[in-house]
Amino acid sequence: MLRACHPEPAAAVTALVTVLAAVSGRGPAGCAVVGAAVLCGQLSVGWCNDAVDAVRDTAAGRTDKPVAAGTVTRTAVAVAAGLALAGCVPLSLAAGRLAGSAHLLGVAAAWAYNLGVKRTAASWLPYALGFGLLPAFVTLGLAGHPWPPAWAVAAGALLGVGAHFTNVLPDIDADLAAGVRGLPQRLGRRRTRVLAPLPLLAASAVLVLGPPGPVGPAGWSALALTAGLAAATTAAGRPAHSRVPFLATLAMAATAVALLVLHGGSLTRG
């Protein structure tokens, strides 16, 4: 069950939003509620993904997927997804009605991705919506219910699109064989490798240049690092199935996340 929930992204997103809540001014109780809501949402999305893909994963012999490997049943994973989603609703609303609504909209987008949008050219949209709304979940629960600044929403959305391309990149050939034709699969491995770093580079640029105040050395250094990693992903002379582009885009995503956390205190200051 733990492997079926996609624990790495679930833990990463939960930690990111909880830290954002802390640096934006939420107290310990508020951070705990935010973290619990996000964790339930992420668990529901991960289990939903494995339940929906069970037949295809089994046919493809995906031994890395617990349902396909026979270590857990599809029914158990589906029930867990429903229970996690049921828990996500009150926990999200406990963070504030507006904040909770924003989070639940993002979770609904992720479920829509699992249930069919990932097979369409709009596969990037649920990621953009879900990640773009995370800053809103944090700020709308604060006193006065402020909407996050445009740079934070834009950076979140760009980070989500970059996460989508990065996540799909290693499995494009297998996805195509299984009939999954989202935007990255339609573009193909070569073009996806070239395009994957661009939204992450744009997210870093927004996070460096968007917040109020002068750009410090840390910001310029992070932007230079991201640009260098972007160049590394498109360098010629690398085997078609090299993991360098994937690892480089992961590093770019980590840099963008660090910048978002660094400017978390500016989420309510324009």
| Residues in Cβ contact with 206 at an 8 Å cutoff, skipping those fewer than 6 apart | 151, 154, 155, 158
Q: Which pLDDT tens digit goes with each residue over 63-92?
A: 888 999 999 999 999 999 999 999 999 999
CA angle 266, 251, 139 (to 5 degrees): 25
Q: DSSP E strands: which ranges in 126-270?
A: none
| Residues in Cβ contact with 25 at an 8 Å cutoff, skipping those fewer than 6 apart | 142, 265, 268
Would you say residue 237 has pLDDT above 50? Answer: no
Would you say residue 190 has pLDDT above 70? Answer: yes
Are residues 107 and 27 located together in one domain of the fold? yes
* pLDDT the model gives residue 169: 81
State the chain's mean pLDDT as an integer: 88
137 part of a folded domain: no
Give me the number of domains the chain comprises. Answer: 2
Are residues 162 and 264 located together in one domain of the fold? yes
Element at 248 (helix H, strand E):
helix 244-262
Are residues 55 and 95 located together in one domain of the fold? yes
Are residues 270 and 167 located together in one domain of the fold? yes
Would you say residue 24 has pLDDT above 80? Answer: yes
Tokens 């660090």 belong to residue? 258
> Distance (Å, rounded) from C-alpha 230 to C-alpha 210?
20
**How much is the pTM?**
0.88
- DSSP-based three-state secondary structure for 3: helix
- DSSP-based three-state secondary structure for 113: helix
> Distance (Å, rounded) from C-alpha 132 to C-alpha 18?
16
* pLDDT the model gives residue 230: 79
CA angle 187, 188, 193 (to 5 degrees): 95
194 part of a folded domain: yes
Question: Which domain covers residue 23, as residue numbers?
Answer: 1-122
Domain end (from 74, 105, 122): 122
Q: Which pLDDT tens digit goes with each residue over 132-155?
A: 999 999 999 988 889 999 999 999
Domain end (from 57, 87, 122): 122
> Distance (Å, rounded) from C-alpha 118 to C-alpha 16?
24
134 part of a folded domain: no
Three-state secondary structure string covering 75-90: HHHHHHHHHHHHHHHH
61 part of a folded domain: yes
